[in-house]
Amino acid sequence: MPITILQPSLAPPAKLRDADSDSDSEGGADLEGDIAMGRPAKRARTQDSSIMTPGEIITDDPQWMRGHGTYVIPGASSNTILSSVAGTLAKTNKLLSVRPLRARYTPEIGDLVVGRIVEVQAKRWRVDVGGTLLAQLPLSAINLPGGIQRRRTETDELQIRTFFSEGELLVAEVQQLYNDGAAVLHTRSLKYGKLRNGVFMSVTGTGGGGGVVRARRQAFTLDISGTDEVSGSEKIDVLLGVNGYIWISKHIEGEGAAAETSGPGITRIEESVGLNVYSSQNDIIPVDTMREIARVRGVVTALVENGLRVDEEMVTKGYAEAVEMAKEERDSADTLWLGGERGKRLANALVGR
């Protein structure tokens, strides 16, 4: 059936997901401040009053300090803190802040992000990372080919497009933040650089608990040789940018963000800076790998459409589940498609419903 036309249905009643999602979402380490878009459910159980709407008075106790998402009325009772966004309340020591339930990406130092070059300037690139402002990547914050350590010269400035040009994708780390919230990126590591051999997808702007969450590992490798159709030992790299931009690509030994967390130190960088860091030429990719890449992409789409968080654990489990599903219905032709009803089945299998 080439076309599926559904009747509109009422939005399902808001699920109280504390009870069932707890068991499987508690796995990861509780990083500070990771309420982000990911798991409002976790806190909702203990603090029901933590959901704030704009204008709501949070406290008038002068011991608290105001953080993001709050404001105070200047004047007499200046210790009244009010919420300025709809979201969940977070308390860090004596700092009160409200995290919006659904928002554009707010960069934080150390975030691993996937970005797209939108503008090339004389000494820097401007990178779309899905935030409110474009991030900057200065020419001095990239590795030169071959890992040469030297000052950037005029020649480098003239050739700036040979490193990155408009439209190209890169993986980078947030190095610094300006006062206005704009991020400065760097790619001074073997893990970072231009992306190739794969597909891009964006899951930003998805509310309702979906989206990429900050986790211990944003980049990981999936072994696809488990599917018996795949010959050889191919692997797939999955790069979950904290900003909701995702890159899924063929794994190449010794390359990519998922390669080695304890990569070579700065001393060895000259020897091994990938010779392909600025290449825009794809390698020859086996058909099986392409198919599995599409499957992983389908898994992520299904996760997002069903309001589940996107992290290593969910993607790995979801992928295994999708492979199982494909094995079960081996005779039907389109086992790759994971939208609509099939996506729902996958999501239900994942959360154990």
Partner 1 sequence: MSSTSQHLLLSPAELAYLHGSLSLITPGPIRPDGRSPTQFRPLTAETGILPGTNGSARICFADGTEAVVGVKAEVEKTPVPPYEFVASTEGRKGHSSAPKKSSRKSKKTTTEDEEISMDVDEDDEEAAGVNEKARVSPDWVELSVEIPGLRDDDSGTVFLTSMLTEALLADGEFVKKLWINRRFHWKLYLDIILISPPLSYPLPLLSLTTHLALLATRLPRLKSEADEDPMFDDDWAAATFLYPRQDTTSAKASNKSPKQPSAAAAAAPASRPPITLLVMAVGDNIIFDPSKEELAVADSAVAVSVAEGPSSETEPESESIPATSTKRNLHLLSVRTIDPPSRLTPPGVPNSVNAAAWGTMTAATPTTTTAATAPANESGAAKHPDARVTETEDVVGVWKAPRGGAKFGMLGAMVAKVLERGGVAEEVLDGLEGVDLT
Partner 2 sequence: MADRRRINGPVGATTPPIFDKPAGPAAAKTRDAIRKIFLKTGITPSASGSAYLELENPNPQRPGNTSLKLSCTVHGPRSLPRSAPFSPHIILTTHVKYAPFATRQRRGYLRDSSERDLGVHLETALRGAIIADRWPKSGVDIISQKDDEGWDMMNVLSGCITVASAAIADAGIDCVDTVAGGVAALVCKDDKTAPTIVMDPVVAEHDSILAACCVAYLPTRDEITNMWFKGRLPGADMMVYDKLMEKSLVACRCANRVIVQELNETVKKGQGIS
Binding site for partner 2 (CB under 8 A): 119-120, 165-166
Q: Distance (Å, rounded) from C-alpha 38 to C-alpha 206?
A: 10
Residue 301 binds partner 1 (CB under 8 A): yes
Interface characters, 2-41, with partner 1 (x: CB under 8 A): xxxxxxx---------------------------------
Residue 83 touching partner 1 (CB under 8 A): no
Tokens for 111, please give them.
């975030």
For residue 53, the minimal CB distance to partner 1 (Å) is 24
CA pair distance 192, 105, nearest whole angstrom: 20
In the complex with partner 2, the residue whose CB is nearer, 166 or 270, is: 166
Q: Which does 181 bind (CB under 5 to 8 A by kind): partner 2, partner 1, none?
A: none
Q: Which is nearer to partner 2, 119 or 329 (CB)?
A: 119
Q: Which stretch binds partner 1 (CB under 8 A): 43-51, 57-65, 102-110, 157-165?
A: 157-165
Half-sphere exposure (CA, 13 Å, Cβ side) for 277? Answer: 24
Which CB, 124 or 342, lies closer to partner 2? 124
C-alpha span between 176 and 226 (Å, rounded): 41
- When asked if residue 197 is in the footprint of partner 1 (CB under 8 A), the reply is yes
- Which SS3 state, helix, strand or coil, does residue 150 take? coil
Q: Is 348 near partner 1 (CB under 8 A)?
A: no
- Say if CB 234 and CB 184 are below 8 A apart: no
Bridging pattern class, strands 211-212 and 309-310: parallel
Residue closer to partner 2 (CB basis): 126 or 217: 126
Q: Which does 191 bind (CB under 5 to 8 A by kind): partner 2, partner 1, none?
A: none
Tracing tokens 């919420």 back to the chain, one arrives at: 83
Residue numbers 216-255 binding partner 1 by CB under 8 A: 252
Which among 228, 226, 223 is positioned nearest to 238, based on CA atoms?
223
Which burial class, exposed, middle or buried, applies to 245 when counting CB atoms under 10 A from its CB (0-12, 13-18, 19+)? buried
Q: Please give the residues from 97 up to 126 whose contact with partner 1 meets the rule CB under 8 A.
A: 116, 118
- Shortest gap between Cβ of 117 and partner 2 (angstroms)? 10
How many Cα atoms within 13 Å fall on the side-chain side of residue 271?
7
Pairing outcome for strands 135-138 and 87-92 = unpaired
Nearest approach in angstroms of CB 142 to partner 1 is 10
Residue closest to 162 by CA, chosen among 135, 144, 174, 188: 144
| CA of residue 38 relative to chain centroid, distance | 11
Site residues (CB under 8 A) for partner 1? 1-8, 116, 118, 145-146, 158-159, 161-163, 165-169, 194-201, 252, 275-285, 287, 290-291, 294-295, 297-298, 301, 305, 333-334, 336-340
